Structure 1
């Protein structure tokens, strides 16, 4: 009886050791959650955990919520989505007149959108021109690292007339200090690192999504990118207003989040196709 018990104890010990070893060799998937606790303000905007950040999450409290003006003739309506929208009814969005979409692919170097395939492929399949965006967290890793992560998880580009260049979503930090603890010059260097890496891999200059307030505060209103990278400006108001960084014009304007993030391309369909084709 003693030998049976001893054998069982040894077996159990080996089993527990095996489990412990497996746990030790498994990446700590909670690491990003521990270091990315949303601020109380972010939680008020539906950001409950790492990866929940989305375009314009703080716009409702920093800009007017006035309705947008009637679209000019030379414009194209679109939307942007993230995991918050889940599986999107793309046929319905097409019927509502939306002709392009940007889909969140990644955040930092730790998160991929679980709905990306449905959203990215679904918008394409109904006829929309679509692109992917990356929510930057510059305090986590280099711009090159995050651009590489983005490219590896849906952020690529192809000259098929239906794929927009990737977009860098650089805005308020939902997990801490507004400017991610970086000086203005360090932030500009981080952005340049991301943009250069993306262009070296794809041949395209990424779109930059931002807003006047954040860009002014966190980059010193840098003019470093206004002749190379298309501007996607966020302002929930009746007009795009003063543009950040000396950009002479905006390419896309995010003007509302109701009932879903609403975007307007500054040009007609042929110009949208031209942007896709590069």
Structure 2
């Protein structure tokens, strides 16, 4: 005869929660984010006060921290020459209004995109080129280089499009992309061909524009005979490096006469020194 055996259910043991599980980890990262925000607000407190005290309607497209950083950089580089760079992405620019940034820092020069690759002229180049001259700004033209296209054809398009006159800035080669269908050595060879062809035509050595990492990793050593215009938007970088000719420190600035945000640059010298590098 079988006995009925009653089974007793086992107690479920509660797993101990790790410190880094559940809400704790969320609170931890929220706390870090708050500290970063408060730190940034404290660092830029004077610029924020300036921004909040005077905010024209055309500034609404720029976020408050970008605007505060822009002010801080301009303050730190007082005495150096400030300018912008534009392309068709800025739309129709009302050049007679383009005069200062933050109603305090004069905009003395502008780099204007002229050509792209071996087959395209910027849609607004002609208007911008003439408008900047009429507005008495020192102007320069740049070419956006496409790594996988013939370098001499790209140089030929730029030369055909841009006529430099006395007082204009040297031509600029803008290289930002890594090659897909060629090696870095072939890319560097193409860049050198473009630079030599353009220098031979205009009689002035071009400037190279690129990002700081691209500059450090690929160009700094091999292209040391050229002057560089470097893009770096790092939140805590506030002064231009000694070996940079120009520094593009933001792509988020508001300027009268331009309906979109625009890039702003610092030249590593005063207005008189800027005149020394222009075409004679």
Whether the 8 Å contact between 2:209 and 2:230 is mirrored in structure 1 is yes
Structure 1 stretches lacking a partner, 5+ long: 1-64, 173-177
In the alignment of these two chains, the number of paired residues is 199
Unpaired segments ≥5 residues, structure 2 = 1-65, 253-260
Q: How does 1:136-175 map to 2 (within 5 A)?
A: 136-141=145-150, 143-154=151-162, 156-158=163-165, 160-161=166-167, 163-172=168-177
TM (normalized to structure 2)? 0.65
Return the match for 2:98 from 71, 93, 101: 93
Q: Contact 1:102–1:131 at 8 Å: present in 2 too?
A: yes
What does the per-residue CA deviation read over 1:212-252, in whole Å, with 9 as the maximum and x for residues that have no partner? 323455x3x4512222x220000012437897xxxx61111
Q: TM-score, normalized by length of structure 1?
A: 0.66
1:173-212 equivalence runs, <5 A: 178-212=178-212
Higher strand share goes to which structure?
2
Residue 195 of structure 1: CA displacement? Answer: 0.5
SS of the aligned residue for 2:278 comes to: helix
CA contact (8 A) 2:119 2:154 kept: no
Q: Structure 1 residue runs of 4+, over 6 Å off?
A: 240-243
Shift of residue 112, structure 1, vs aligned partner: 0.6
* Residue from 230, 249, 253 that aligns with 2:247: 253
Q: Superposed, which structure 2 residues align to 1:1-278 within 5 Å?
A: 67-68=69-70, 69=73, 70-96=75-101, 97-141=106-150, 143-154=151-162, 156-158=163-165, 160-161=166-167, 163-172=168-177, 178-216=178-216, 219=218, 221-227=219-225, 229-237=226-234, 238-239=236-237, 249-258=243-252, 259-277=261-279
Q: Distance in 1 between the 2:208 and 2:119 partners?
A: 21
CA-based RMSD of the aligned residues comes to 2.3
CA distance in structure 1 between the partners assigned to 2:240 and 2:95 by the alignment = 33
Instruction: Select the structure of larger CA radius of gyration.
Output: 2
Q: 1:242 to 1:88 in 2, by over 3 A?
A: closer
